[in-house]
């Protein structure tokens, strides 16, 4: 049977989901020697076999086989041109990203590929794989190693004046520093990435990532209006892509769009976004349901609904650092609002009574009331011995007192001017 017939036979088996037999045929083709083994037709067939065999391992989620196959695939590409070998190797590594729970294996494969690139003196391949490795280290929360590798790459790419790579590495640097809570360096890295991006053509996915990071940093500065505009641009970018993770990214950005509107207390806008055609038909998930539920709870000023939503959608809300930190602030705001509503009719009230109404322990209520008094949210005194809270009316500021201070300030200026003139005359 000819090599073309074998390849077609393997493809028909894949269509029938008979992956085991298809895998055997693909491996047979790759390990066999054919007449005219160096011809373009044979090389193209072997390239197709390598990529399609990778697709089988991805479809069947066989991360162990993928881990072994990618380094071994270099032996099958010994007759390939260097550029084609690099292209196929990078495609296999990108396919491996689709296999769940395989980050450690991906790191191993990339490290082995970098060693291969160094031995073969393939500088550009080594650099592009090093960016992948830095990204994987960031995803596994190994931030120290990631930053060390990023610094090496930045030095290399600045020497080469490789703008596209500088965009990617500075963006990754910004993401790592954000996770380390060094917002100053994160903003500086993002600015450097955007500066490099302005001088070249950037893909839609890169621009969407840049907009996403800009939105996150504005969110950290509590500038939710600007953050929303960046998130919207990022959502549009990911929505129009068709890569394997574009839906997941768009869903994540949509969550951040809703977060921005919730923090601005624009609940009607949340409902408008969720009723849009693209959102209604495509982006239906528990994560979006969780944000809708939080918006409703915040709109109703209901701490009970807020806590119920956090318990129901615990994984969806607390696994995201940005959402978790902002919802902690939102919880404090709601708690203060509910406590103010409860104590409003009283001049003196038992803390235990407040605790029963709000559904929190006495210690939690006492701690929050103490903080609110210190922050001048309301004026009062806690009598912890008796477990009472005394609430006072807000003191009125005397307008005459402020006017007197302003007058004294103006007189001081006049006296200073007179002294200066007297010194000049003397």
Where along the chain do its domains lie? 203-344, 346-425
Q: Which residues pair with 382 in a beta bridge?
A: 389
Question: 396 pLDDT exceeds 70?
Answer: no
Q: Looking at domain 203-344, which CATH architecture does it have?
A: Alpha Horseshoe (1.25)
Q: Per the structure block, which two tokens stand in for 64?
A: 């162990």
Which pLDDT band holds residue 408 (cuts at 50, 70, 90)? confident
Give me the pLDDT at residue 401, please: 63
Q: Which residues pair with 402 in a beta bridge?
A: none
Average pLDDT over residues 173-183: 95
Nearest 5°: phi and psi at 381?
-140, 140
Give residues with Cβ within 8 angstroms of 373, minimum separation 6. Answer: 379, 380, 381, 382
Q: Per the structure block, which two tokens stand in for 339?
A: 């406590």
Question: Could you give the 3-state DSSP secondary structure of residue 221?
Answer: coil
Q: What's the topology of domain 346-425?
A: Arc Repressor Mutant, subunit A (1.10.10)
- To the question of pTM greater than 0.85 for the whole model, the response is no
For 170, 360, 378, the CA distances from 303, given in Å and listed in that order, are 41, 10, 19
- Say how far apart CA 112 and CA 93 lie, in whole Å: 12
Percent with pLDDT over 90 in the chain: 45
DSSP at 390: E
Give residues with Cβ within 8 angstroms of 263, minimum separation 6. Answer: 219, 222, 224, 326, 330
Average pLDDT over residues 69-97: 90
- Lowest-confidence pick of 106-120, 220-234, 341-355: 341-355
Is there a contact between 176 and 168 (Cβ–Cβ < 8 Å)?
no
Average pLDDT over residues 353-361: 86
Q: Which of 121, 83, 91 is nearest to 109 (CA)?
A: 91
Question: 130 pLDDT exceeds 70?
Answer: yes
Give me the pLDDT at residue 38, please: 60
Is there a contact between 371 and 334 (Cβ–Cβ < 8 Å)?
no
- Say how far apart CA 177 and CA 143 lie, in whole Å: 8
Give me the pLDDT at residue 242, please: 81
Question: 231 pLDDT exceeds 80?
Answer: yes
- Say how far apart CA 88 and CA 70 lie, in whole Å: 10
Burial class (CB in 10 A: 0-12, 13-18, 19+), 281: exposed
Question: 132 pLDDT exceeds 70?
Answer: yes
Nearest 5°: phi and psi at 382?
-95, 120
Q: Per the structure block, which two tokens stand in for 200?
A: 């070249």
- Compare 336 and 114 and report the one with higher pLDDT: 114
Average pLDDT over residues 128-144: 95
Percent with pLDDT over 70 in the chain: 96
Which pLDDT band holds residue 425 (cuts at 50, 70, 90)? low
388-392 β-sheet, strand order: 348-350, 388-392, 379-383
- Lowest-confidence pick of 52-56, 124-128, 411-415: 411-415
Q: Per the structure block, which two tokens stand in for 3?
A: 């090599």
Q: Which residues pair with 150 in a beta bridge?
A: none
Give me the pLDDT at residue 117, please: 93
């Amino acid at each position: 049977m000819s090599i073309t017939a074998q390849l077609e036979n393997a493809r028909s088996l894949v269509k029938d989901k008979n992956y085991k037999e298809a895998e055997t045929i693909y491996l047979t083709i790759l390990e066999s020697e054919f007449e005219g083994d160096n011809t373009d037709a044979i090389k193209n067939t072997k390239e197709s076999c390598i990529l399609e065999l990778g697709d089988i391992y991805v479809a069947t989620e066989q991360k162990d086989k993928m881990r072994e196959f990618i380094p071994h695939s270099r032996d099958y590409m010994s007759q390939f041109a260097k550029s084609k070998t690099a292209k196929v190797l990078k495609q296999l590594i990108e396919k491996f990203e689709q296999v769940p729970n395989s980050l450690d294996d991906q790191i191993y494969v990339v490290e082995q590929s970098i060693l291969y690139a160094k031995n073969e003196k393939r500088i550009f391949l080594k650099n592009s794989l090093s960016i992948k490795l830095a990204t994987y280290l960031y995803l596994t929360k190994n931030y120290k190693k990631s930053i060390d590798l990023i610094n090496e790459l930045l030095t290399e790419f600045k020497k080469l004046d490789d703008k596209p790579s500088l965009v990617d590495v500075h963006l990754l640097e910004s993401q790592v520093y954000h996770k380390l809570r060094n917002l100053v360096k994160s903003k500086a890295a993002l600015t450097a990435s955007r500066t490099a991006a302005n001088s070249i053509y950037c893909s839609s996915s890169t621009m969407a990532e840049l907009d996403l990071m800009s939105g996150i940093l504005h969110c950290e500065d509590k500038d939710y209006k600007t953050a929303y505009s960046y998130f919207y641009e990022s959502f549009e970018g990911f929505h129009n892509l068709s890569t394997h993770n574009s839906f997941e990214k768009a869903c994540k950005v949509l969550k951040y769009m809703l977060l921005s509107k919730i923090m601005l207390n624009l609940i009607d806008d949340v409902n408008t976004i969720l009723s849009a055609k693209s959102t209604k038909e495509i982006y239906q998930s528990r994560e979006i349901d969780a944000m809708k539920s939080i918006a409703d709870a915040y709109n109703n000023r209901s701490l009970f609904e807020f806590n119920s939503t956090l318990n129901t959608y615990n994984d969806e809300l607390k696994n995201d650092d940005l959402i978790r930190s902002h919802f902690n602030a939102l919880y404090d705001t709601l708690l203060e609002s509910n406590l103010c509503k409860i104590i409003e009719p009283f001049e003196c009230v038992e803390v235990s009574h407040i605790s029963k109404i709000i559904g929190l322990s006495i210690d939690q209520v006492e701690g929050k009331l103490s903080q609110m008094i210190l922050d001048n949210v309301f004026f009062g005194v806690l009598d912890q011995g008796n477990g009472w809270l005394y609430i006072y009316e807000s003191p009125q500021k005397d307008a005459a007192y402020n006017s007197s201070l302003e007058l004294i300030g103006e007189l001081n200026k006049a006296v200073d001017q007179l002294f200066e003139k007297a010194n000049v005359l003397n």
